[in-house]
Amino acid sequence: MLNKTSGIPLHVQLTNVLREQVLNRQLQPEDRLPSERELCEMYGISRITVRQALNTLTQEGLVYSTAGKGTFIAGSALDEELQPLSSFTQDMERRGMKSSSQVLTTHVFPADDFWASRLKIPRGAEVVYLHRLRLGDNLPVSIQHTYLPHHLCPNLITIDFSAHSLYDVLRRDFGHHLAHSDTLIEAALADAEEASLLKLQMPSAVLISEQSTYLDTGVIIEITRSIFNAERYKLHSHT
């Protein structure tokens, strides 16, 4: 039971109880959780408190909701430790999974003030945009939006990135030496387009990473924003 005299908020206590049941395998993948009403009655708490707890567990990728059916325990996720300068293809290979990509769009555009500042290039300089859906064993894992200074990789958009790794191409075809990267991670709710591409019900949590990659000269070569299916993928920093 929850301790209503404790200084710990009730929604945090419920989150901790349910999380422990999931991690200890008292609740198995694809098990259905009690309904919001049933959880209210079981723990003597309000529906708002229950929803706060379930939202937290959804953002952590431990549960997911299906409209009209209820809330379920998420299946085993791909637990990814961010490896410096590791490509998605390499990440999948480490798991014995076959990676593939669908190129959604690619084009070159002139940098506005925002991208000129982010990529450290003059305003109006050309930027390559590469938009891909990344799959593991034919299941959608992430959506990637990649931006690169065109002068560092001319004619990049002529390459078929449904069959080639971007990092391999930058190293092999353009002779670049990728030195280090900085990555930020955050949780969010998928928008309609993201949910459709990742085969998620709305609302569903996604994990977002934004990686900036630098050459050995200190020049930035790419910025990639990746939106991951939080039901199948977990991220944590490499230390």
pLDDT at res. 120: 95
Q: pLDDT band at 224, cuts 50/70/90? A: very high
Q: pLDDT band at 109, cuts 50/70/90? A: very high
Amino acid at position 221, single letter? I
Q: pLDDT band at 188, cuts 50/70/90? A: confident
Residue 193: how many other CB atoms lie within 10 Å: 11
- Mean pLDDT computed over 174-196: 87
pLDDT(106) > 90? yes
* Distances from the Cα of 224 to the Cα of 42, 132, 152, 212, angstroms: 45, 11, 16, 7
Query: DSSP state, 28?
Result: -
Look at phi and psi of residue 96 and say left if phi exceeds 0, alpha if psi is from -120 to 50, else beta. Answer: left
CATH 1.10.10.10 for domain 10-73: yes
pLDDT(28) > 50? yes
pLDDT(81) > 90? no
Lowest mean pLDDT among 72-81, 118-127, 128-137: 72-81
Domain ranges of the chain: 10-73, 78-236
pLDDT at res. 75: 60
For residues 28 and 32, what is the distance between their CA atoms, to the nearest angstrom? 9
pLDDT at res. 209: 84
* Distances from the Cα of 164 to the Cα of 98, 129, 141, 145, angstroms: 13, 16, 17, 16
pLDDT at res. 70: 87
Mean pLDDT, the chain, whole residue set: 84
Q: Which residue has the higher pLDDT, 201 or 192?
A: 192
Q: pLDDT band at 91, cuts 50/70/90? A: low
Query: Which two structure tokens, joined as six digits, stand for 13?
Result: 């206590």
For 78-236, which CATH superfamily applies?
Chorismate lyase-like (3.40.1410.10)
Query: DSSP state, 32?
Result: B
Which residue is it, tokens 């430790």? 81
pLDDT(83) > 60? no
pLDDT(212) > 60? yes
pLDDT at res. 74: 74
pLDDT(236) > 50? no
